[in-house]
Amino acid sequence: QVQLQESGPGLVTPSQTLSLTCTVSGDSISGGAYYWSWIRQHPGKGLEWIGYIYYSGSTYYNPSLKSRVTISVDTSKNQFSLRLSSVTAADTAVYYCARVVVGATQYFDYWGQGTLVTVSS
């Protein structure tokens, strides 16, 4: 059973960098069969894809966030991470990590439970 678990600070100060880690169990990131992604959901709103990474380190980001986002991978720990710089209150959201099935299309088959990050001083 594939499981993903987000971890990181629940409170971030404006202008600072948000950092989250997703730990994967039940699958190996280095297996190379999937991509690994971050998605967020503003309170009471819809889903917004942030970006994803392949085990090799190749990344692809949502153009609207690209200038502030870095996703990295640590295959030795079976983890991948999100860094979002220069945060504002508009970055307050529940952040999910998810596994991405890729091929002719792309979709998310397993999700973490999500973690709420609040940006406030």
Binding site for other proteins (CB under 8 A): 46-49, 62-63, 96, 101, 104-109, 111-114
Written as six digits, the tokens of 86 are 């220069």
DSSP state of 29: G
CA distance 78 to 2: 12
3 state DSSP class of 31:
helix
List Cα–Cα distances, 110 to 2, 17, 40, 96, in angstroms: 7, 26, 15, 10
15 vs 33, which CB is nearer to other proteins?
A: 33
CB of 52 to other proteins, least distance (A): 8
CA distance 53 to 108: 13
CB of 96 to other proteins, least distance (A): 6
CB of 97 to other proteins, least distance (A): 10
14 vs 42, which CB is nearer to other proteins?
A: 42
CB of 108 to other proteins, least distance (A): 6
66 vs 77, which CB is nearer to other proteins?
A: 66
